[in-house]
Amino acid sequence: MTDQAANAMWGGRFAAGPDAIMEAINASIGFDRRLAAQDIAGSRAHAAMLAATGIVEASEAEAMRKGLLTVLSEIEDGTFQFSTALEDIHMNVEARLRELIGPAAGRLHTARSRNDQVATDFRLWVRDQCDAAAQGIAEVQRALLGQAEAGADWVMPGFTHLQTAQPVTWGHHMLAYVEMLGRDAGRFADARVRMNECPLGAAALAGTSFPIDRQMTAEALGFDRPCANSLDAVSDRDFALEFLAAASICAMHLSRLAEELVIWSSAQFRFVTMSDRWSTGSSIMPQKKNPDAAELIRAKIGRILGANIALLTVMKGLPLTYSKDMQEDKEQVFDAADTLMLALAAMAGMVADMTANRDALAAAAGAGFSTATDLADWLVRTLGLPFRDAHHVTGALVARAEARGVDLADLSLDEMQAVHAEIDEGVFDVLGVENSVGSRTSYGGTAPVRVREQIARWRAALPVET
């Protein structure tokens, strides 16, 4: 396609073609070709509406429909010839349609602009990504639920400040991430609802004088309704920003889980063994088994959060309505969506394949005076001490055990009574980690009975696997 042909797409205003640098900075076909399916779907809906409202002849609309399907087929089978000179996916499709059906192709752009066209295409694409993200999240949740079911009653240390705090169950820890990811899925679903309005028909910025039926095109494309303000329809990208915000939070949750897997798979912890499928070796140290997949997932949030900040920066100073700055919206979103889906798939596989070391978890659960809070609670519940007094007594007992190099359960009753005379044999019932986790039966607690209830709830709540 020649520069003259490209300029014909702009009309008679421009007599000379852009030089190579202008063409390079202006063209977006290198990345927005990913919108081809959405662009053609929007054009087919628009053509059908133009015929239904009498704006074009039915025969012309039928030619457009067949021609657009041919273009889509060529793109899908890799025979379509994209042209940088034609700038973007919209002009590439229209130019090829003109070659296929002749002058009737020129009527397709009646009552619309590239401004509402690209806004529609992009919303359709981002909407699809919200659905894909929800499916990817569900796969990670299923993998976590599998781990939770296997170890619903396995004890492990719960941490604050990465210091042993109280014993919890492995199943409970896995379910914490199921909950986080559930909220992530909810954010994508919420964003999808808000973005599900159709910009098509807003035209360049002010609407059109043609008697179009915007409800018809909105319904044809699966939107709930047309956008109510033509200026807003073509000028905002908050739907993309909301997708990036949800993706950033989801990636942050994946990064936290990945960090734990890196720590847990270390020789110092040995809580989990990562599958060889998700690990690598060292070029010099033959004993190494590196959790590279987890480390890379941990890093992916940088790209996704960076995309969010980049698009916010692009949009923050733009007056209404469309500015060419907004061409910079797509590459950021494309990359973030790809990155998130890769991270979700890798996390689902890694979690499903990893093996938890029950013995190492149990050994760590009993270390670090993890049942100290259970002791304090027992002093309150059984002896009626105010909690602050019970806290002080427990602290003194911890200090005594620490000085001897033993755990609380290894102190004799005489040693305990030396700190508080009313302590009796019943105290030993709460000092075991199994007793500790079993007693945490409050809703949302770590007791195995509660863990199994939550597993069942999530199994019922997740969408059926396809």
**Hey, which residues are catalytic here?**
161, 282
Contact of 217 with 203, CB cutoff 8 Å: no
Write out the two tokens for 216: 């018809």
Reading phi first (left if > 0) and then psi (alpha if -120 to 50, else beta), residue 384 is in: left
Contact of 199 with 116, CB cutoff 8 Å: yes
Reading phi first (left if > 0) and then psi (alpha if -120 to 50, else beta), residue 214 is in: alpha
Instruction: For residues 38 and 40, give the distance between their C-alpha atoms in angstroms, rounded to a whole number.
Output: 5
Residues 6+ apart with CB under 8 A from 183: none
DSSP classification of residue 13: T
The C-alpha R_g of the chain, in whole angstroms, comes to 31
Contact of 47 with 68, CB cutoff 8 Å: yes
How many angstroms separate the Cα of 184 from the Cα of each of 95, 136, 240, 295, 410?
41, 11, 16, 21, 44
Largest CA distance in the chain: 100
Instruction: For residues 234 and 112, give the distance between their C-alpha atoms in angstroms, rounded to a whole number.
Output: 11
Reading phi first (left if > 0) and then psi (alpha if -120 to 50, else beta), residue 276 is in: alpha
Q: What is the dihedral of CA 429, 435, 438, 441, to 10 degrees?
A: 40
Contact of 216 with 150, CB cutoff 8 Å: no
What DSSP string describes 396-447?
HHHHHHHHHT--GGGS-HHHHHHH-TT--GGGGGGSSHHHHHHH--STT-S-
Neighbours of 392 (CB within 10 A): 16
Contact of 93 with 43, CB cutoff 8 Å: yes
Instruction: For residues 412 and 431, give the distance between their C-alpha atoms in angstroms, rounded to a whole number.
Output: 12
Q: Letter for the amino acid at 257?
A: L
